[in-house]
Structure 1
Amino acid sequence: MDLLTLSIIFIVTIVFIVISTTRWHLHPFLALIFAAYGVGIATGVPLLKLGETIRVGFGNILGYIGLVILFGTLIGTILEKSHAAISMANFIQRRLGERHPALAMTLIGYIVSIPVFCDSAFVILSSLRKSLISKTGASAVAVTIALSTGLYASHTFVPPTPGPIAAAANLGISDNLGMVIVVGLLVSLCAALAGYSWSRYIGDRYKTDEDLQLSVTDYEEPANLPSTGKAFAPIFVPILLIALGSVANFPSHPFGQEGLFTLFAFLGKPINALIIGFFLAMRLMPALNKETLNDWMSDGLQSAGLIIMITGAGGAFGQVLKATPMAELIGGSLDGMNISLLLPFILAAALKTAQGSSTVAMVTTSAIIAPLLGDLGLASDMGAVLAVMAVGAGAMTISHANDSYFWVVTQFSGMDVATAYRTHTVATLIQGFVALAVILILSLFLL
């Protein structure tokens, strides 16, 4: 089979995923599974091996990352339902809110969205956003876009958010999440600050009804908020443990090869770190009863189940691609083209813009480029980390009408659609390209 035929199969497959999920409203899980079968049959994967290939791909990625996604989602659920996210937001607001309301909302979003989905987090923080606007007289558009872009930044770059975890697993670096977190925090901070700068620029150029209607009475803070320390612990303790685990495994053995090395290597395993984070999150529960231990957990498990199924389907799709000659032929055609990190960015951006879901764009793109890492010059661990970042940058470019987050921002801020396109959508475009620029600069020093 020649390169042209394989390229046509590849393009048709991507078009099928986009059209089936957008126009036909097929669930992404089914779209990816059907795409895996379609690619396998079209490229001549032996029929008797095709089902086994899909099963192995589905099971392997979930074996690496399924429990990590599950416990990360449970932590986010507890932070949401216990109002710990409000405690974290209040901590930052007290220090920056009165003087720099837009910057305060950017940092609040940047931190809260590490474990909590940006859609849910915007809803949780919307009342606090209104309160800050009314107290400071700041532009409602500026504060809204600062929050939406702050949330959006860490959502696509920093584990334990499912998108970057799934991408890391597809690219074979699930055991090196510490480096993904460190680089992701830097890249996402630059993207968040780009969103903040844009919010300041457009803040006085657009108005919404909130600029005239808000008063301080619009915000009623939940009673019995958890302490700031308890609220932050489920996020930062796992991140610290994963980072220490990565340091412990450095070739120089900074903690030796026994004792502290064993301790930090064990605690730094992502699943172990997140289980500890989960127990820290349980301290936020107002009581240990049926509502918290069963109902809250059921909500979290349902959210995690959908993500895990999509991630597994992405793994199956990627495994079929590895079983075809597609990677070898396409990889040979890339020799000397020097597109490296641009390919994952462009592919993820196309998928995100077309079908709306950042998570689906990250899972699909990472599955496609996994067999191409060597040909792209990204075969090292750091190369794979930067590939995860490039996929994340593409998966945030751009948020518009087919993205549920776009409608959350518009509906909870009272922003009309035209204004949202000019402010929120353009902001996500800027964030994606700024993040890509940062990634390309990092690649000059790290590759």
Structure 2
Amino acid sequence: MLFIVLAIGVFLIVFSTTKFKLHPFLSLLLGTLFVGFASGMPLDQIVENINGGFGGLMTSIGLVIVFGTIIGTILEKAGAALRMAEVVLRIVGPKRPQLAMSMIGFIVSIPVFCDSGFVILSSLRKALARRAKVAVASMSVALATGLYATHTLVPPTPGPIAAAGNIGADGYLGTVILIGLITAIPAALAGYIWSMKVATKIEVEDDRSDLDYDYDEIVRSFGKMPSALQSFLPIVLPIVLIGASSVLTLFGTEGGIAAFFVFLGQPVIALLVGVISALTLLPKYDEE
């Protein structure tokens, strides 16, 4: 019976979000209340458990989620996501546009929400499809699966951090990042293969209507973009710090320097360092 109650609770969350366009936070809250009532939980314990669950999660990973979101937003608004895409394109080359698109999504979605990443890179996707004379559907699939692979599996994207907190692994984010990356590679590769074998045969409206997308014009329209080092640093630096801390902890290394790097590798501190490095991308320091 409890499984049925949980299934109905999940259905209510999905239905209220998609059908009534209710904010996911409120949908989750209503679904939680339903499960509490329907499972026969005492009324006073329902509120206590909601507060305890939410509060406990925010205690362990709240600041990490905030810092990760700040980094992603700055990278999105400053044009750093497009700069990272350019770097990948130069490495992979124009002859493998689907592979380039998948790798771009894979990297960009580590700090940037996947839906925002798709919007940011949408014009680039269409321009590359036109330049390489390939189906837009194949480029869309390659980009979307690359984005989702890391968005759902690799911190500091908030989703994987929250999942780590739920299973008590928030103190081992270095391990979570490593396993997430290893798992995300075959997931993205499966999407890339599908984009090449199946999606290339699918014709969509974009194939006929988006003939005015020019890659060079799109890049120029973004104006002055940050350097490659500035663009990648807010992502790479926290991951390196967290990874170094995990290695030092694993081998039981002690001492002043080791303790300092273990401190820097704490997820909250590592993400804060990432936020500081992301601030260099801002054109000016004011409230706007």
AA matched with 1:270:
P
Alignment CA distance shift 1:265-1:134 (3 Å):
same
Matches within 5 A, 1:110-121: 110-121=106-117
Alignment CA distance shift 1:25-1:289 (3 Å):
closer
Alignment CA distance shift 1:234-1:39 (3 Å):
same
Alignment CA distance shift 1:216-1:12 (3 Å):
closer
Distance 2:109 2:15 in 1: 29
Q: Return the offset for 1:10.
A: 3.5
Aligned twin of 1:246: 246
Distance 2:275 2:182 in 1: 25
Q: Return the offset for 1:203.
A: 4.2
The gaps in structure 2 that reach 5 residues or longer are none
Aligned twin of 2:94: 98
Matches within 5 A, 1:230-245: 230-245=230-245
The answer to whether the Cα contact below 8 Å between 1:133 and 1:214 also exists between their aligned partners in 2 is no
Distance 1:193 1:137 in 2: 22
Aligned twin of 2:196: 200
Structure 1 vs Structure 2 CA RMSD: 2.1
Deviation per CA, 1:133-162, whole angstroms, max 9, x where unpaired? 232223322222211211121111111111
2:167 is the counterpart of 1:171: yes
TM-score normalised to the size of structure 2? 0.90
Distance 1:208 1:63 in 2: 46
Bigger relative CO (Cα 8 Å, ≥ 6 apart) = 1
Alignment CA distance shift 1:205-1:258 (3 Å):
same
Aligned twin of 1:423: none
Q: Return the offset for 1:214.
A: 2.3
Distance 2:95 2:7 in 1: 51
Distance 2:170 2:267 in 1: 8
Q: Return the offset for 1:269.
A: 0.8
Equivalent residue for 2:255, pick from 255, 258, 265: 258
Aligned residues: 284
Distance 2:12 2:241 in 1: 41
Deviation per CA, 1:356-402, whole angstroms, max 9, x where unpaired? xxxxxxxxxxxxxxxxxxxxxxxxxxxxxxxxxxxxxxxxxxxxxxx
The answer to whether the Cα contact below 8 Å between 2:134 and 2:200 also exists between their aligned partners in 1 is no
The gaps in structure 1 that reach 5 residues or longer are 292-447
Q: Return the offset for 1:82.
A: 0.5
AA matched with 1:122:
F
Distance 2:135 2:20 in 1: 40
Aligned twin of 2:281: 284
SS at match of 1:99: coil
Distance 1:139 1:52 in 2: 53
The answer to whether the Cα contact below 8 Å between 1:97 and 1:132 also exists between their aligned partners in 2 is no
Aligned twin of 2:224: 224
Distance 1:47 1:200 in 2: 54
SS at match of 1:290: coil
